[in-house]
Amino acid sequence: MNLIIDVGNSSVKLAVFDRGKLLHQQQMRGESHVEQVMEVCDRYPELERAIVSAVGELDEKMIKVLSVFCFVHMLDHKTKTPFKNSYATPQTLGADRIALATAAFYHNQKGNTLVIDAGTCITYDMVNDYGEYLGGSISPGLNMRYRALHEQTSNLPLLKFEAPFDFIGNSTQSSIQSGVINGICHEIDGVIDQYNSRFTDLTVILTGGDAHFLSKRLKNTIFALSNFLLEGLNHLLEYNKP
């Protein structure tokens, strides 16, 4: 039985897998997650291994407590992966992108797969039909774009995302909604078109916190899989069994 902890920029997610099946999932709140981790460990005493992926700030006390219950694998660029990593600077590759590439490799072996993670940032990661991770791109996510408009100007308000009524905004608020939402959708569709022009039979996976909202607004065919990163982390933990 495996414990998965994903420390993102905006939230911390925890999941329990048993033989590839997701048994438990939660989003942890607050600054310290020690008690929440202990509760899950008590609830699932069969836990043997854990993997921790961190792109956000890591709670070191949580790791110390977790190591009492089970073996802990800290994901980094030295972690063994099932795919060939052709990234030019593997030491700078984020743990989340390593996990997504792993999930892509197992989801579509011997196929071309583009993974789009729509979270704090939007990351694009490509694994080709030779099982090779090529890299991708990073751009600002939805909330980051709203904050940039507000913080980098004098008068624009800070908005929460909602679907624009029309692509032509007739007020400052509706213009921002149109610019952010339509802009990000056109970006994603444009990137997918670029990859489709180079890779045959491309499978596109959309995941991340904003995936559900964005998936309804894209013209390209995609698979929206909310637990894709967690599944990738579980695959990595299994692949790196001591």
Q: In this predicted structure, what is the pLDDT of residue 43?
A: 94
Question: pLDDT of 60-90, one tens digit each?
Answer: 888 998 999 999 999 999 999 999 999 999 9
Residue range(s) occupied by CATH 3.30.420.40 in the chain: 2-74, 84-233
Question: pLDDT of 14-30, one tens digit each?
Answer: 999 999 999 999 998 76
Q: In this predicted structure, what is the pLDDT of residue 30?
A: 66
The pLDDT > 70 percentage for the chain reads: 99
- Token code pair at residue 201: 């039979």
- Token code pair at residue 143: 């909330």
Dist CA 104 CA 204 (whole Å): 9
242 has pLDDT over 80: no
Which of the four CATH numbers 3.30.420.40, 3.40.50.150, 3.20.20.140, 1.20.1300.10 does domain 84-233 have?
A: 3.30.420.40
Neighbours of 181 (CB within 10 A): 20
Sign for the CA dihedral angle at 98, 102, 108, 109 comes to positive
Averaged pLDDT for residues 149-160: 96
The DSSP line for 12-37 is EEEEEEETTEEEEEEEE-SS--HHHH
Question: Which residues, at least 6 apart from 54, have a Cβ–Cβ distance to it below 8 Å?
Answer: 7, 74, 75, 95
- Pick from 211, 36, 199: which is nearest to 130 by CA? 199
Annotated binding site for K(+): 117
Q: Which residues are catalytic?
A: 96
Quick one: DSSP state of residue 91?
G
CB-based contact 118:124 (threshold 8 Å): no
Pairing of strands 84-85, 49-54: unpaired
- CATH architecture type of domain 2-74: 2-Layer Sandwich (3.30)
Q: What is the pTM of this model?
A: 0.93
List of E strands, 128-214: 132-140, 203-207
Q: In this predicted structure, what is the pLDDT of residue 115?
A: 98
Secondary structure of residue 189 in the 3-state scheme: helix
Annotated binding site for ATP: 6-13, 120
CB-based contact 24:40 (threshold 8 Å): yes
Neighbours of 1 (CB within 10 A): 15
